[in-house]
Amino acid sequence: MAETAEDARAAEFEEHRSRLFSLAYRMLGSAVEAEDAVQDAYLRWRAADRAAVRVPAAWLTRVCANLCLNRLTSARAVRESYVGPWLPEPVLTGGLPVGAHPALDPLETAEQRDTVSLALLTLMERLTPAERAVFVLREAFAYPHAEIAGILDITEGGSRQLHRRARDRVAEERRRFDPSRDHWRAVVERFLDAARGGDIDRLKSLLAEDATAWSDGGGRVTAARRPVSGADRVARLLAGFLRHAGPEHAITIEEVNGFPAVVAAVDGRPVAVLVLEVGGGRVLSVRTVVNPDKLAPIAGQFAARG
């Protein structure tokens, strides 16, 4: 059967889908919303005058970025009324079969992994939508300010100002982390072993004195509605959480958002994801996502992996 113009257009869009998802996910912190934004970009691509699209990659980036800007503006009101701490949706970034989706661009450097880490995505929630858009385009995709200005319909000077402001705001609370995944995984393994064994003293030794734990249940499942701070309190909270996991829970270490993390699954479906931030050989923070809505994307990835 001969390929139609519509088929050709769809195939051309698929060449850009992964990059568009990577952009949308970093801007929105939600895999579900990122998928929706990419689908909306496809609908606009399908309806566009093809002759007017000189560079598909640039056109699609502009459309997708601006769709995300609109979503960020409306998402702020929703997140302000969220029950308990709001955390980004975790996604697997390793051990996936070729073609599995959603996916992120290869995270080959420490900088690439950092731009998709839950720690940074959480910090970016403090930025304005425009600041976040410029920050992502510049930090994650290395767009020059002249191109960012064209994508977001601002001046080049405005892009530089937004980027500088965003970097300053993020740097205020950004902590130094360990870029080595092997070292990171070793700390996570020791942490998991101590937590599952209920060894509070050993667990405390692995935590920074000012370690903080956040739990995102979204009001759907039981979770702490306020951050828990201090090595002793965090150790007891997490030891209790993991020690009481039943035999039906398969607990593994997976690459989540670029770094080793703890995933608890029942019948192959994740029910909890604990993302640890490691720095100086200790755990600086733990972000636990148990809201089943937010675990739907990673559950789909688990299913695709088989």
* Residue with the two structure tokens 């209790």: 240
What integer pLDDT is reported at residue 76 of this predicted model?
Answer: 74
Instruction: Judge whether residue 205 has pLDDT over 60.
Output: yes
Which pLDDT belongs to residue 98? 58
- For 221-238, the pLDDT digits (tens) are 888 889 999 999 999 999
Axis crossing angle, helix 145-152 with helix 156-171, rounded to the nearest 10 = 100
pLDDT at residue 124 in the model: 94
Q: Are 182 and 289 in contact (CB under 8 A)?
A: no
What integer best gives the mean pLDDT of the chain? 89
pLDDT at residue number 29: 94
- The pTM assigned to this predicted structure is 0.91
- How far apart CA 115 and CA 108 sit, in angstroms, is 12
pLDDT at 3: 66
Domains annotated on the chain, with CATH: 5-171 (1.20.140), 181-305 (3.10.450.50)
At 56, the pLDDT band (50, 70, 90 cuts) reads very high
Mean pLDDT of 286-302: 95
